[in-house]
Each structure stands twice: as C-alpha cells, then as structure tokens.
Amino acid sequence: MKYEIAPIGAGASRVVLRGRADAAGVDGIEAELGTRLRETAGHVVVDLADVPFMGSLGIRMLIAIARMAGRRGARIAMTGVQPQVLAVFETMALTDLIPHAPDEAAALALLEG
C-alpha cells in the first residue's frame, strides 16, 4: 500500500491511499502516515478511489486518523470510496464518524460547514 499527503489550500490536507488495505498493506504505511499526520494541521480528506479492499486494520487506521484529527479540533472525510468498500463502511456505521463525499470540493464543504 502507498500513500501521498498534500495540502489543499490553507486549512486542509489530502491523503491519497492506494492498494489493498489488508494487514500487510497497512503495516507498511501506518506508522509513517501517523507521524506525518501528527505534524499536519487542519481537516483531512482521504481519497480512497484506488483502494479496492479495506480490512479491519485499514478501518482501524482510518479511525485512528479521525481520532487524531479530532484531538486537535479537526475532522476528516472520505472521497472516492468503491462500492464494495462503502458497503463494509455502512455495515460498521463508519460513515457516521467519517462522512463520505462524492468529490473533494464536497468533502471540504462538508468539513468546513
């Protein structure tokens, strides 16, 4: 699994995840991504368009990102979630914690609204 972080304007960051979020995939990025996000201010938009599978550790990583953002008064949203992954998120009510938006602009509007 791979990730990229980039600023979106002044008050938010975009995290793009790519690959299967299974145990091996998450293990390869979780610690480093966490460290980098701790140094990041503002809301976070997670782009999951290239994530075809989300296992329990991938979900745990998203929740950890959400909690980390919450502790500094920020929020996170997701975009591009593939249908089979969204079905898993719905079963877990994860969208109550991390809202899903159709695109980045909608996600930012949601977070700043």
Chain residues in the site for another protein (CB under 8 A): 20, 23, 55-57, 59-60, 63-64, 67, 90-94, 96-97
Name the minimum Å distance from CB 59 to another protein.
Answer: 7
As a whole number of angstroms, the distance between CA 94 and CA 78 comes to 11
Instruction: Name the H helices within 6-82.
Output: 23-38, 56-71
Instruction: Please state the closest distance from residue 11 (CB atom) to another protein, in A.
Output: 25
Return d(Cα 50, Cα 91) in angstroms, integer: 21
- Least distance CB 67 / another protein (angstroms): 7
